[in-house]
Amino acid sequence: MEFPFDINTLFSERVSILDQTLVAGRKSAGRPDLQAHIATVIDELGRASAKAQQLTAPITSASKLQSQRHQLYLLKDAESNGGRGVVVGFLKVGYKKLFLLDLQGVHIETEPLCVLDFYIAENLQRHGYGQELFDFMLQHKNLEPVLMAYDRPSPKFLSFLAKHYCLTRSVPQVNNFVVFEGFFLNRSAAQLRKVPLKKLDGEIKPYSLMEREVVRQEQRVLPWPFAPPHSPQRLVSSQYSHSLSVGSSPSRAPPRVAPVSAPGGNRDQSPQSPLIDRCRARRTSSLNRSQLGFD
């Protein structure tokens, strides 16, 4: 891919590594004019890659690279274009937190290095440039390709991985990433963490929405013996406490206590929960002690 400016001035190495700073070597450091050219190169490569993959929008651009912790490996041919150099292609990688399914279908949480975008100019493909660029990245990261994840690889990229790195047996995933069988076999327990299943809350009665609201109201107010007479919480508690109270069931009767009539209401209108009975018992005990002169 040719540009109207000198590529060799921008990129001194055959493979340049770019990050958030958009600096490629000492020449471009502190040079806004050169960094603007570098941004132009990245944007053009991103658009070309998106077109080749039939994507609706580029997934690589200078602005995205500046805002993300990714690295872009750019390969050039210094001799072409009359010695001004051409850009051959690029490879973008970055770490992503993923939830993957292992060989047994168990969800695993991991954060591998991912190939996020990979492009070689169409007129320069099948010349070994792709493998040269990919091998450079693997050597720089000291990593095997089977330990990486691949974001939406095209059929052409999958064929590339199968041909050069014998990656053929992938593990089906529910997201857009592709991993291969060795990804799970060659990783330590520290790198892979099983996602715990959500714990069930025990046997929960399938309350209706209205009943759930009643429970929430009961939890926010005092038990009915201490509520003002004819208050809404007292009426709600009297109406629903038997069916919704903690520990109540048709087969287990609440513990018996001395009958004490609450002011302003008839306690025999409906059965009460053990929690309310215990509150009533404590209040009765307190009243008796007071009457006997113990307090």
121 is in an annotated binding site: yes
154 is in an annotated binding site: yes
- Concatenate the DSSP letters of all residues of 231-245 into one string: -HHHHHHHHHHHHHS
Q: Per-residue confidence at 76, pLDDT binned at 50, 70, 90?
A: very high
Which SS3 state, helix, strand or coil, does residue 150 take?
strand
131 is in an annotated binding site: yes
- The reply to whether the predicted model has a pTM over 0.95 is no
Homologous superfamily assigned to 7-292? Gcn5-related N-acetyltransferase (GNAT) (3.40.630.30)
Q: Is the pLDDT of residue 209 over 60?
A: no
DSSP state of 267: G
Q: Is the pLDDT of residue 250 over 60?
A: no
Q: Per-residue confidence at 185, pLDDT binned at 50, 70, 90?
A: confident
Q: Is the pLDDT of residue 244 over 50?
A: no
Mean pLDDT on 190-198: 59
| Backbone φ and ψ of 79, nearest 5° | -85, -20
125 is in an annotated binding site: yes
- Concatenate the DSSP letters of all residues of 70-134 into one string: EEEEEEEETTTTTTT-EEEEEEEEEE--EEEE-TTS-EEEE--EEEEEEEE-GGGTTSSHHHHHH
Mean pLDDT on 194-215: 49
119 is in an annotated binding site: yes
Task: State the Cα–Cα distance between residues 158 and 113, nearest whole angstrom.
Answer: 17
Q: Which of 29-38, 94-103, 236-245 has the lowest mean pLDDT?
A: 236-245
161 is in an annotated binding site: yes
Q: Per-residue confidence at 128, pLDDT binned at 50, 70, 90?
A: very high
Residue listed under structure tokens 């590529």? 7
189 is in an annotated binding site: no
Task: State the Cα–Cα distance between residues 154 and 71, nearest whole angstrom.
Answer: 20
126 is in an annotated binding site: yes
Give the other-Cβ count within 10 Å of 40's Cβ. 15
With the C-alpha atoms ordered 272, 273, 274, 277, is the resulting torsion angle positive or negative? negative
